[in-house]
Amino acid sequence: MKRLILLAVILFIAPNTFAASFDPSLNWRTAQTDHFNIHYPSALEEERILVARHLEDAYQKLSPKMHWKPWGRTEVIVTDSYDVANGMSSTLPYNWMLLRIVSPGPDSVLGDYDNWLRTLCMHEFSHILNLDQVGGVMWVPRFILGKVVSPNGTETGWLREGIPTYNETDETTRGRGRSSYSDMMMRTAILDKNFLTIDEADGVQWKWPSYQAMYIYGVEFMQYLSDKFGEDKLMDYQKNVARSPLFYAANHQARRTFGDIRFQSKKVHLRYDRERKEGTQRSKSFYTLWKEWKASLEKKYAAVKTKVEAEGLTELKNVAAGGTVLSSPAVSPDGKYLAYARTRVKGPAEIHLVDLGTGVNKVIKKRRAATSIAFSPDSKKIVYSAIGGYKRYNTYSDIYEYDIESKKIKRLTTGERAYDVSYFPDGKKMAFVKQEYGRGCLKIYNVESKEVSDLGFSYETVAKDEFPQFSAPAISPDGKMLAVSSWQITKIDPYPIGQWDIYLGEISSDGLQVKNIRKLTNDIPIDSSPSWSPDGKTIFYASDKSGINNIYRVEATGARRTTGGVRVTNILTGVYQPAVSPDGGSVYVKYYNGKGFDIRSFSPFGATGSFIDASKPVIEKQRFSILPKVKTLAVREAEEIVAKPESPGKKYSPFGKGLFLPRFIIPNAATIDNGLMFALATGGADPLRRHNWMGGATYRTDLTDYVGYFFNYAYNRFKPVFSAGILGYAVNFGDLTFLHADGTLNTVHLYEDRRRVYGGVSYPWSKQAFGLQYFWEHREPHEYLTPEEKDALNFGSFAGFNVSYVYGEWEKFPASISREHGRKLRTNFSITDKALGSSSKNEQYIFTGDYREYIDMPWLNHVLATKVHGGMVWGDPVVQGTFSLGGAMGDGIMGGGDSLYYFALRGLPIASLSKNRALVFTGEYRMPIVSPQRGLGTLPFYVQNIYIAPFADYGNAWNASQNTGSYFFNNFFLGTGLEVRGDFVIGHGLPVSGRAGYGIVVVNRDRLGSAKGPILNTPASDGVLILELGTAF
Cα→Cα distances 207→350, 811, 941, Å: 18, 18, 17
Sign of the C-alpha dihedral, residues 1006, 1008, 1013, 1016?
A: positive
Give the pLDDT score at 261.
52
Specify the pLDDT at position 18. 39
| For residues 233-246, average pLDDT | 95
Output the pTM of the full model: 0.91
Dihedral of CA 737/738/739/743: which sign?
negative
Rg (CA), the chain: 32
Query: What's the mean pLDDT in 64-87?
Result: 95
Cα–Cα distances (Å) from 1005 to 738, 756, 812, 1002, in that order, read: 24, 38, 37, 6
Average pLDDT, the chain: 89
Asked if the bond preceding 877 is cis, omega within 30° of 0, the reply is: no
Do β-strands 381-390 and 370-375 pair in parallel, antiparallel, or remain unpaired? Answer: antiparallel
Give kind and range of the element (H or E) at residue 723.
strand 721-739
The CA distance from 603 to 253, in Å, is 53
User: Per-residue pLDDT tens for 317-327?
Assistant: 999 998 789 99
> Angle at which helices 180-191 and 212-229 pack, to 10 degrees?
90
3-class DSSP state of 359: coil
Banded pLDDT at 646 (limits 50, 70, 90): low
Percentage of residues in the chain with pLDDT exceeding 90? 74
Q: Using the predicted structure, report yes or no on whether residue 778 has a pLDDT greater than 80.
A: yes
Return d(Cα 201, Cα 194) in angstroms, integer.
12
3-state secondary structure string across 206-260 = CCCCCCHHHHHHHHHHHHHHHHHHCHHHHHHHHHHHHHCCCCCCHHHHHHHHCCC
- Are 820 and 366 a contacting pair, CB within 8 Å? no
Mean pLDDT of 896-903: 81
Read off the pLDDT of residues 364-387 as tens digits, 9 standing for 90 and up.
999 989 999 999 999 999 999 999
- pLDDT exceeds 50 at position 7: no
Q: What angle do CA 674, 679, 685 make, to 5 degrees?
A: 140
Contact present, 2 and 896 (Cβ < 8 Å): yes
Residue 585: name the closest of 320, 331, 313, 382 by CA: 331
131 close to 89: Cβ distance less than 8 angstroms: yes
pLDDT attached to residue 41? 97
The DSSP output letter for 664 is: B
The mean-pLDDT minimum among 503-512, 624-633, 924-933, 1013-1022 falls in 624-633
Give the DSSP letter of residue 605. B
532-590 pLDDT, tens digit per residue, is 999 999 999 999 999 999 999 999 875 455 667 899 999 999 999 999 999 999 999 99
Cβ partners under 8 Å of residue 626, min gap 6: 173, 178
So what's the pLDDT on residue 617?
A: 55
Nearest of 971, 980, 972 to residue 999 by alpha carbon: 980
Per cent of the chain over pLDDT 70 is 89
| Pair 611, 585: CB distance under 8 Å | no
Q: Which of 621, 547, 527, 592 is nearest to 185 (CA)?
A: 592
**Residue 167 to residue 58: CA distance in whole angstroms:** 10
Give the tens place of pLDDT for each residue, 126-163: 999 999 999 999 999 999 999 999 999 999 999 999 99
Range 328-338 burial, b when 16+ CB lie within 10 A, else e: bbbbbbebbbb
CA distances from 93 to 75, 654, 688, 715 (A): 11, 14, 13, 17
Asked whether 266 and 274 are in contact (CB, 8 A), the reply is: yes
Average of pLDDT values for 77-84?
A: 95
Distance CA 663, CA 268 (A): 50
Q: With contact defined as beta carbons under 8 Å apart, do 371 and 395 qualify?
A: no
DSSP string, 405-450: TT--EEE--SS--EEEEEE-TTSSEEEEEEEETTEEEEEEEETTT-
Taking the mean position of all CA atoms in its chain, how far away is CA 528? 27
Single-letter residue type at 671: T
Pairing verdict, β 96-100 and 74-79:
parallel
Average confidence (pLDDT) over 10-38: 72
Cβ-contact 707, 697 below 8 angstroms: yes
Per the rule left: phi > 0, alpha: psi between -120 and 50, beta: everything else, 896 is: alpha
Go through 184-220 and write b for each residue having 16 or more CB atoms within 10 A of its CB, e for each that does not: bbbbbbbbeeebbebbbbbbbbbbbbeebbbbbbbbb
Q: For residue 15, what pLDDT is reported?
A: 34
What pLDDT does 606 receive?
Answer: 67
> Which residues, 6+ apart, have CB-to-CB distance to 589 below 8 Å?
316, 329, 542, 551, 569, 575, 576, 577, 578, 579, 599, 600, 601, 602
Burial of 1005 (0-12, 13-18, 19+ CB in 10 A): middle
Question: What is the distance between the alpha carbons of residues 391 and 23, in angstroms, rounded to a whole number?
Answer: 9
Which sign does the torsion angle of CA 1015, 1020, 1026, 1030 carry? Answer: positive
Section 744-762 average pLDDT: 92
Query: Which residues, other chains included, contact 466 with Cβ-Cβ below 8 Å and sequence gap of 6+?
Result: 50, 115, 489, 496, 498
Residues 792-802: tens digit of each pLDDT:
888 999 999 99
d(CA 11, CA 700): 19
Residue 461: per-residue pLDDT: 52
Mean pLDDT of all residues in 872-888: 89
Give the three-state DSSP class for 314: coil
Residues 655, 656, 658, 659: is their CA dihedral positive or negative? positive
Q: Which helix (H) or strand (E) holds 19?
A: helix 14-19
> In terms of pLDDT, which residue wins out, 74 or 963?
74
CA distances from 975 to 2, 12, 870, 871, 1002 (A): 20, 36, 17, 20, 6
**Could you give the strand order of the β-sheet that contains 469-475, starting from the edge strand earlier in sequence?**
456-457, 513-519, 497-507, 481-491, 469-475
pLDDT at 562: 63
Average pLDDT estimate for 909-929: 94
Does an H or E element contain 871, and which?
strand 863-875
Q: Is the pLDDT of residue 731 over 90?
A: no
Query: Is the N-terminal amide bond of 93 cis, ω within 30° of 0?
Result: yes
Give the Cβ contact number of residue 440 at 10 Å: 22
Q: CA separation (Å) from 799 to 507, 756, 774, 900?
A: 71, 9, 8, 18
Cα 353 to Cα 62, 340, 432, 614: the distances in Å are: 49, 7, 22, 32
CA atoms within 13 A on the CB side of 428: 5
DSSP symbols for 944-962? EEEEEEEEEEEEEEE-TTS
pLDDT greater than 70 at residue 82: yes
Identify the pLDDT of residue 705.
86
CB atoms near residue 378 (< 10 Å): 12
**Confidence band, pLDDT 50/70/90 cuts, at residue 1:** very low
Position 485 confidence tier, pLDDT thresholds 50, 70, 90: very high
Residue 609 has a pLDDT of: 60
890 vs 1029: CA distance, rounded Å: 5
Rounded-to-integer distance, Cα 851 and Cα 810, Å: 13
Of the pLDDT bands very low, low, confident and very high (cuts 50, 70, 90), residue 961 is confident
The CA distance from 788 to 149, in Å, is 51
Q: How far apart are CA 307 and CA 880, in angstroms?
A: 80
Helix (H, G, I), strand (E, B) or coil at 756: strand
